[in-house]
């Protein structure tokens, strides 16, 4: 079955396979803020202790991109995508270990129209057809941080259970190896 994905990182090449990386495949694109708690090496070693097989491109992005915020008393902006990823990763590990990790998967859609719409709304990156022997379909609607921690937990449990919401946004987690078939 064909799947479709948007190459937001300029990494896909038709005819090549995508796999997991035991070190950051694109360290040059990561901003390293001053005053980090841990060195890049310490953070990478920790990630590999959690994910010994490595991380996908998405996993390295979500776990190494700095979370921007303004310190108190002027809270203004928080990038919460990495917080969603780590919260959902721990719910998956504890309650849905048979599901593929988002941090070790390549994200895609079941049809090219959904991938093309995502591309148009996010800078117009190229869309590729991909192939994978193993995939899990989930509802991206649930990828939320709730007002209460319990809401976030419930969203994660619904996501990993494969529950579809009334506002369903189906997405596919493609397990490696993922074959890049062609650019559309």
Helix (H, G, I), strand (E, B) or coil at 173: strand
Domain count, the chain: 1
Which H or E element spans position 131? Answer: strand 127-132
Question: Each residue of 115-142: pLDDT tens digit?
Answer: 999 999 988 999 999 999 999 999 999 9
State the pLDDT at residue 1. Answer: 82
Q: Mean pLDDT over residues 52-64, rounded? A: 91
For residue 182, give the H/E element and its range. strand 178-183
Q: What's the sign of the alpha-carbon dihedral 21, 28, 66, 157?
A: negative
Q: What integer pLDDT is reported at residue 9 of this predicted model?
A: 86
Q: What is the pLDDT of residue 135?
A: 97
* Structural domain boundaries, residue 97: 3-183
Say how far apart CA 142 and CA 180 lie, in whole Å.
27
pTM of the model: 0.86
30-36-41-42 Cα dihedral, nearest 10 degrees: -130
Residue 69 has pLDDT above 70, yes or no: no
Q: What are phi and psi of 105, to 5 degrees?
A: -120, 165
Q: Provide the sign of the torsion angle of the four alpha carbons 162, 169, 146, 78, taken in this order.
A: positive
Of the given ranges (17-31, 41-55, 166-180), which has the lowest mean pLDDT? 17-31
pLDDT at 5 over 90: yes
């Amino acid at each position: 079955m064909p799947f479709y994905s948007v190459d937001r990182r300029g990494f896909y090449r038709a005819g090549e396979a995508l796999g997991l990386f035991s070190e950051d495949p694109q360290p040059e694109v990561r901003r390293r803020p001053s005053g980090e708690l841990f060195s890049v090496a310490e953070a990478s070693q920790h990630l590999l202790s959690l994910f010994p097989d490595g991380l996908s491109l998405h996993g390295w992005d979500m776990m190494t991109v700095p979370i921007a915020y303004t310190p108190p008393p002027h809270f203004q902006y928080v990038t919460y995508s990495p917080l969603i990823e780590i919260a959902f990763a721990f719910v998956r590990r504890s309650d849905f270990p048979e599901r593929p990790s988002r941090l070790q998967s390549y994200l895609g859609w079941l049809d090219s129209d959904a991938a093309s719409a995502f591309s148009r709304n996010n800078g117009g990156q190229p869309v590729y057809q991909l192939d994978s022997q193993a995939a899990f379909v989930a509802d991206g609607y649930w990828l939320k941080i709730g007002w209460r921690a319990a809401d976030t937990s419930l969203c994660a449990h619904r996501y990993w259970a494969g529950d579809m919401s009334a506002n369903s946004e189906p997405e596919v987690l493609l397990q490696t190896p993922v074959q890049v078939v062609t650019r559309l």
